[in-house]
């Protein structure tokens, strides 16, 4: 089994289903590293060295250790209620959201909703949003008027890995862009 497969399984455990391997997360999403390794090892090979490599090399920086590496958590993307201790941050004027074409009708009616997650995920740049959108089929990019949202009292957070988070984005703050950045 590959390290990538183990990492995907670990993401499932730390973001959605810790009970699958018989562990619990604390209120801030932290899991005991020894318990995590033991639980994952039942179906996927995992050592402390492999875990450190996954955390270090994950291109999306999904995970964080505490200072002494006895605890680990996913940085965002949870469907279970945890407080990953995000600080409120004033967003830039514009953020982006990439999605698949099949979700456009729903977004145009309801805005961006977190669905099974705790927050809507937004990107600071067009290209990243495009990559996210491609994971859902033919990509469509929305321009999010985050500065205006913030002025109107809507809170934003920034994850350790740079993903912007908010509870929802009402339709009035969205501009559909298609798949090409303006002027490109």
pLDDT at position 184? 47
Angle at 15 between CA 10 and CA 18, to 5 degrees: 70
Tokens of 160: 């350790």
Of 150, 130, 147, residue with least CA distance to 94: 147
The answer to whether 179 and 143 have CB atoms below 8 angstroms apart is: no
Residues in CB range of 100: below 8 A, 6 or more apart: 133, 135, 136, 137, 138, 139, 140
The answer to whether 75 and 160 have CB atoms below 8 angstroms apart is: yes
Q: Is 121 left (phi over 0), alpha (psi -120 to 50) or beta?
A: beta
**Owner of token pair 């934003």:** 156
pLDDT per position in the chain (184 positions), as tens? 788 899 999 999 999 999 999 999 999 999 999 999 999 999 999 999 999 999 999 888 889 999 999 999 998 888 888 887 788 999 999 999 999 999 999 999 999 998 878 899 999 999 999 998 998 889 999 999 999 999 999 999 998 888 899 999 999 999 999 666 555 4
The answer to whether 14 and 31 have CB atoms below 8 angstroms apart is: yes
Q: Counting beta carbons within 10 angstroms of the beta carbon of residue 17, is it exposed (0 to 12), middle (13 to 18) or buried (19 or more)?
A: exposed
Cα dihedral: 134, 116, 38, 57 (round 10): 30
pLDDT at position 135? 87
Output the DSSP codes for 93-161: S-EEEEEEGGGHHHHHHH-B--TTSSSEEEBSSHHHHHHHHHTTSSEEEEEE-HHHHHHTT---EE-TT
| Threshold 0.85, pTM exceeds | no
């Amino acid at each position: 089994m590959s390290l990538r497969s183990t990492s995907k399984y670990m993401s499932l455990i730390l973001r959605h289903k810790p009970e699958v391997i018989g562990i619990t997360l604390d209120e801030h999403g932290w899991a005991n590293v020894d318990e995590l390794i033991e639980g994952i090892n039942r179906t996927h090979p995992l050592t402390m060295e492999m875990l450190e490599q996954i955390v270090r090399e994950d291109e999306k920086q999904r995970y964080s250790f505490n200072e002494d590496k006895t605890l680990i958590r996913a940085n965002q993307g949870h469907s279970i209620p945890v407080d990953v201790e995000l600080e409120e941050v004033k967003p830039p004027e514009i953020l982006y959201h990439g999605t698949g074409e099949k979700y456009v009708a729903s977004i145009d009616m309801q805005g961006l909703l977190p669905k099974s997650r705790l927050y809507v995920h937004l990107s600071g740049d067009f290209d990243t949003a495009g990559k996210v959108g491609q994971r859902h089929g033919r990509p469509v990019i929305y321009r999010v008027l985050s500065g205006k949202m913030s002025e109107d009292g809507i809170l934003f957070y920034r994850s350790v890995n740079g993903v912007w988070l908010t509870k929802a984005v009402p339709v009035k703050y969205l501009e559909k862009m298609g798949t090409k950045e303006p002027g490109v």
